Amino acid sequence: MMRRIGTVARAIAAYIRDVMGDNDYQRYVALRRRTHPGEPMMTEREYWRVRHDAPPTARCC
């Protein structure tokens, strides 16, 4: 029973991180590695700066 509660709690925490955008940089890195291997990518700081400085119409969501 306790193992099941832990599993559910981790799933809920992962969902909340996804909704809040906490995993966005990790997804960006994974995508860049898959689609543009060997090319430079933004640091996490640069990624968040670009994401938050962009006008709302420039973002997909």
Residue with the bigger pLDDT between 12 and 21: it is 12
Element (H, E) at 57: none
Quick: pLDDT tens for 18-52: 888 788 999 999 999 999 999 999 999 999 898 88
List of residues 6+ apart from 29 with CB closer than 8 A? 41
Return the DSSP state at 8: H
Report d(CA 48, CA 44) in Å as an integer: 6
26 close to 44: Cβ distance less than 8 angstroms: no
